Amino acid sequence: MQLHYFPTPEATNTLSTDELRARFLIGGLFQPGAVTAHYTDLDRMIVGAAVPTTAPLTLPSAKETGTSYFLERREIGILNVGSAPGTVRVGSATYTLAPLDCLYIGLGEKDVVFEPAADSTRAAQFYFISTPAHAKHPTTLARRADVSAAPIGDVTKANRRTILKYIHPDGIKSCQLVLGFTEFEPGSIWNTMPPHTHSRRTEIYLYFDLGENLAMHFMGEPHATRHLVVRDREAVLSPAWSIHCGVGTGAYRFVWAMGGDNQIFADMDAVPLASLR
């Protein structure tokens, strides 16, 4: 499990392109036949992926969590961002996730296994986010077709999009994890614009279904913005002091996941466009 520690806002302004990417961008998450995991100091969130091909894969036990197994004091949200269904076994129960289905697993579940498909050429791609937990909530599967969609944005500003919330106070219950994804209507490419910050929570983005397109992700303090060039299935780590918004060269989706002091989706501090530099 790789560790990620973040520089201060002042130090971030001095980083080169390569240094900025090393600190705030995670690539290579989806490795066939493997589990990858990155432990961050963003509210101790762990971000990772599992791509089972010929053998079962389990959540890693690592000294970074300070526990005897991964979910001893944690919860996890798993989203299938692949094009094929996949199976996750939790104890003696088995859950099949179609593309864009989400599984929440609560504190205390010791045995979590990503099962290989019968056809290894169509392996599911499981993306996961884990946060510390203080209480147990039941394991819950949410189907993409059953999740309410909330269209927002303005087509004239190229930001008409639909937000799908999976793990949140009115959906799957959790201790602190909030997770969902956003998709765009044809011709719209801007996400989270105008930008915002929220010092009470930190956030991780995963851009996916980009294909050969790329996204320009904007970050940094409002008066000293920076940018990252992001490609398909790369994750961006967003500390509380940083804005987070982006624009794609074509259609895409992105997973958003947050941990912190509250679970209020609309709790954000808007950044006026006139103040950006």
pLDDT band of 110, cuts 50, 70, 90: very high
Cβ neighbours, 10 Å, residue 260: 20
d(CA 195, CA 31): 32
The pTM for the full model equals 0.94
**Is there a contact between 108 and 149 (Cβ–Cβ < 8 Å)?**
no
CA distance linking residue 202 with residue 196, whole number of Å: 12
Which class for 12: exposed (0-12), middle (13-18), buried (19 or more C-beta within 10 A)?
buried
Number of neighbouring beta carbons within 10 Å of residue 9 = 14
Mean pLDDT within 235-261: 92
Segments making up each domain of the chain, as ranges? 2-275
The predicted-structure confidence for 173-198, as pLDDT tens digits, reads as follows 999 999 999 999 999 999 987 887 87
> CA-CA distance, 6 to 203, in Å (whole number)?
13
Query: Per-residue confidence at 61, pLDDT binned at 50, 70, 90?
Result: confident
**pLDDT class for 262, splitting at 50, 70, 90?**
low
Q: Which of 13-27, 106-120, 210-224 has the lowest mean pLDDT?
A: 106-120
Residue 105 has pLDDT above 70, yes or no: yes
Confidence class of residue 273 from pLDDT cuts 50, 70 and 90? Answer: confident
CATH of 2-275, one of 3.40.50.300, 2.60.120.10, 1.10.3720.10, 3.30.300.30: 2.60.120.10
Q: pLDDT by residue (tens digit) across 134-170?
A: 999 999 999 998 887 888 999 999 999 999 999 998 8
Q: Report DSSP letters for 144-203, one per residue.
A: GGGS-EEEES-GGGT--EEEEEEESTTSB--SS-EEEEEEE-TT--EES-S-EE-TTEEE
Q: Are 255 and 44 in contact (CB under 8 A)?
A: no
Beta carbons of 146 and 129 less than 8 angstroms apart: no
Beta bridge partners of 80: 126
The phi, psi pair for 83, rounded to 5°, reads: -100, 0
Q: Which amino acid is at 25?
A: L
3-class SS at 63?
A: helix
Residue 241 Cα distances to 38, 43, 134, 149, 165, angstroms: 21, 13, 26, 29, 24
Give the residue-averaged pLDDT of 216-226: 95
What confidence score (pLDDT) does residue 160 get?
93
